[in-house]
Chains A and B, each alone.
Chain A
């Protein structure tokens, strides 16, 4: 079993839809949870960063962490064609420096 599981998609939605991206994990020691957006031929860009459980909102993006279920989500409201990218979840332990990445979900938002 992988430490982090993420459906690679692709996920195709119409413009304006609410997008839900998810990851599950097995290591209960993970405390830092991140979502990255990666456009084709570019490096990953840190979108959202959450420590421990709870929700975090930034504009159209909301990150949720449910440590009891070992499940994290990224919601994108009013999705735009410019949101079309690969979204990677990532997580690490407190005091640890090794970050574990999901496989990435390819998202296509159609105009």
Chain B
């Protein structure tokens, strides 16, 4: 298993601003994943981040809105840019074992 921490755990932001979410894993992993979970919904994959390469974004998500950094094998950041109330969600960092996935505690973002 993997132990994943995220910062901040929650934040309230004004529209038009940006927030950077940090994800730290207790072991080296090749791929890290960023998910969004909107209220009452299941998990939606935003992008996959490999160390040393550009992140791969899912349909509906773009780099300008959700830039991702992956400077090493244990750390990644997701920035939510130019926020609007529709970005209010829980953002989750995840890593994969052999086939199973492990999640961080999430960052609860509210945009006013």
Q: Which A residues are within 8 Å of any B CB, using their own CB?
A: 31-32, 34, 36, 41-46, 49, 51, 88, 90, 92, 94, 97-99, 101-104
B91 CB, nearest partner CB in chain A, Å: 10
Contact count band on B: 20 to 34
- B12 on interface, CB distance cutoff 8 Å: no
A95 CB, nearest partner CB in chain B, Å: 9
Residues of chain B from 1 to 52 with CB closer than 8 A to chain A in the complex: 1, 31, 33, 41-43, 45, 48
Q: Which B residues are within 8 Å of any A CB, using their own CB?
A: 1, 31, 33, 41-43, 45, 48, 90, 92, 96, 98-106, 108
Kindly list chain B residues whose C-beta atoms are within 8 Å of the C-beta of A88.
42-43
Cross-chain contact A46 with B102 (CB below 8 angstroms): yes
Cross-chain contact B106 with A42 (CB below 8 angstroms): yes
Kindly list chain A residues whose C-beta atoms are within 8 Å of the C-beta of B100.
32, 34, 46, 49
Cross-chain contact A43 with B106 (CB below 8 angstroms): yes
Partner of B92, one of A44, A51, A92, A102: A44
Partner of B105, one of A34, A43, A103: A43
Cross-chain contact B43 with A34 (CB below 8 angstroms): no
B92 to A, closest residue via Cβ: A43
B51 CB, nearest partner CB in chain A, Å: 14
Q: A97-B31, A101-B42, A103-B42 are in contact. Are A46 and B101 (CB under 8 A)?
A: yes
CA distance A32 to B1 in the complex (A): 15
Q: A36-B103, A43-B90, A97-B33 are in contact. List 12 more A-B contacts (CB 8 A).
A: A41-B106, A42-B105, A42-B106, A43-B92, A43-B103, A45-B103, A46-B103, A51-B99, A88-B43, A92-B99, A97-B31, A104-B42
CA distance A45 to B98 in the complex (A): 16
